[in-house]
Amino acid sequence: MTAIAELRGLGMRFGPMAQGVHALQDIDLTVRPGEILGLVGESGSGKSTLGRCLLRLLAPTAGTVRFEGDDITAWPERRLRRLRSAMSMVFQDPWSALNPRMRIRALIEEPLLLHCALSAAERRARGEALATAVRISPDQLDRMPGELSGGQLQRVCIARAIATNPRLIVLDEPTSSLDLSVRAGILDLLAELRASTGSAMVFITHDLATLRLIADRVAVLYLGRIIEEGPAGRVLADPLHPYTQALLSAHLSADPAERSRRIRLQGEIPSPINRPPGCSFATRCPLAEPRCNAVQPPLLEQEPGHIAACLRVPEGSNRLVPPP
Ligand SMILES: Nc1ncnc2c1ncn2[C@@H]1O[C@H](COP(=O)(O)OP(=O)(O)OP(=O)(O)O)[C@@H](O)[C@H]1O
Ligand code: SF4
Ligand SMILES: [Mg+2]
């Protein structure tokens, strides 16, 4: 099966060679047809940069980006234009993603106008079908963005993102700016749309617990590198990398027995301008040893499809807290 998108040896540096920010390094990642791949990491770990490189909204400074087998790393914008209807992006903040002076109907129809040769009547009918798919009611179509709630506006953004039947949608923290009460509805909608459209989705979040509800696979980023990746069920049930274990432990319930298993990380995150030579997590890792500062841990497969970059994983001494 041809991958939808593939990154190989991807690197992204912003700014001058010597002092630039190394936002991404040595990223190998495959997005498979129709899957939901969760991309998780703290602020500044490179999630948005990775999402933008996948869609070639950014040109990486190293490595390759493939879309459905084509190496699009160096394609000029003119050539990328014909791929634009096959990929789309949903951003965190629906208020700034939508033109406040356009009616909802026009906003939903806009991608059809740009990318599809449809008559006005066909466009209107398709726009209404899209609105129904994301549960925007007919009477809301003639309203202005200012008259809708954040959750409803994010549904409009999702309708725009699926309008041209893209094969790949990158969603960059699509629920982070929304009230908790509407988040679950958006996640349900995305799962439903994945099933009905077959689009592959890359779901970016800093919240591992969200991925439990939606992702098939999970990749964990730390300081611009993937440090763990695998089936969501495995990564979320039995995280191998100490960083993933710490991230996940933040979601343990308030139950005192569970709370005592919570891992609080101390220490500084190294600067992305001046990275240490060994494991990037060594400054905060409770299991760090001298060798961790010398050797960059390779990403090794520990079980089928489940890889992790920690020197202790192959030895089985990687548990921050023993299993209950
Ligand atoms: N245009 C830019 N110019 C310079 N540095 C940038 C630029 N975009 C991102 N960076 C830097 O690259 C690194 C990764 O940024 P990125 O926005 O991809 O992280 P993120 O994981 O999406 O963070 P957040 O969770 O806050 O959205 C950060 O150190 C950031 O400061
Ligand atoms: S390689 Fe060392 S510092 Fe890095 S995660 Fe593993 S134990 Fe921690
Ligand atoms: Mg981001």
- Summarize pLDDT for 9-28 with one digit per residue, the tens: 999 999 887 778 999 999 99
The torsion angle over the Cα atoms of residues 123, 125, 131 and 132, rounded to 10 degrees, is -160
Distance between CA 213 and CA 157 in Å, rounded? 21
More confident call, 57 vs 270: 57
Kindly give the distance from the C-alpha atom of residue 14 to the centroid of ligand 1, in angstroms, as a whole number.
9
Per-residue pLDDT band for 147 (boundaries 50, 70, 90) equals: very high
**Which region holds residue 42: left if phi is over 0, alpha if psi is between -120 and 50, else beta?**
beta
User: Closest Cα partner for 1 from 51, 68, 54?
Assistant: 68
**Could you tell me what percent of the chain has a pLDDT over 90?**
84
For the purposes of burial, counting CB atoms within 10 Å of the CB of 320, is it exposed (0-12), middle (13-18) or buried (19 or more)? middle
pLDDT higher than 80, residue 50: yes
* 5-237 placed in CATH 3.40.50.300: yes
Query: What per-residue confidence (pLDDT) applies to 229?
Result: 98
Q: Is residue 248 classed as helix, strand or coil in its secondary structure?
A: helix
pLDDT higher than 80, residue 255: no
Closest ligand (CA of 227): 2
Residues in the chain: 324
Distance between CA 199 and CA 87 in Å, rounded? 9
Per the prediction, the chain carries an average pLDDT of: 94
Kindly give the distance from the C-alpha atom of residue 273 to the centroid of ligand 2, in angstroms, as a whole number.
21
21 phi/psi in degrees, rounded to 5? -85, 120
* Long-range contacts from 179-182, C-beta under 8 angstroms, 24+ separation: 179/150, 179/151, 182/149, 182/150, 182/151
**CA pseudo-torsion sign 95, 97, 102, 107:** negative
Ligand 1 atom nearest 206 alpha carbon: 25
297 to each of 205, 219, 231, how far by Cα in Å?
24, 16, 21
Query: What per-residue confidence (pLDDT) applies to 276?
Result: 81
Distance between CA 199 and CA 165 in Å, rounded? 7
Q: Is the minimum distance from the CB of 242 to ligand 2 under 6 angstroms?
A: yes
Please name the residue that has the structure tokens 């996640």: 187
Question: Per-residue pLDDT averaged across 103-114, rounded?
Answer: 97
Kindly give the distance from the C-alpha atom of residue 170 to the centroid of ligand 3, in angstroms, as a whole number.
12
pLDDT higher than 70, residue 323: no
Find out whether 57 and 172 touch, Cβ atoms under 8 Å.
no
Per-residue pLDDT band for 257 (boundaries 50, 70, 90) equals: low
Please name the residue that has the structure tokens 């040109």: 59
Element (H, E) at 233: helix 232-237
pLDDT higher than 80, residue 260: no
Per-residue pLDDT band for 322 (boundaries 50, 70, 90) equals: confident
Q: Which residues line ligand 1 (CB under 6 A)?
A: 14-15, 21, 23, 41, 43-49, 206, 272
Q: Is the minimum distance from the CB of 222 to ligand 2 under 6 angstroms?
A: no
Neighbouring C-alpha atoms within 13 Å toward the C-beta of 260? 5
pTM (two decimals): 0.96
pLDDT higher than 80, residue 291: yes
Nearest CA to ligand 1 atom 8: 49
Q: Is residue 298 classed as helix, strand or coil in its secondary structure?
A: coil
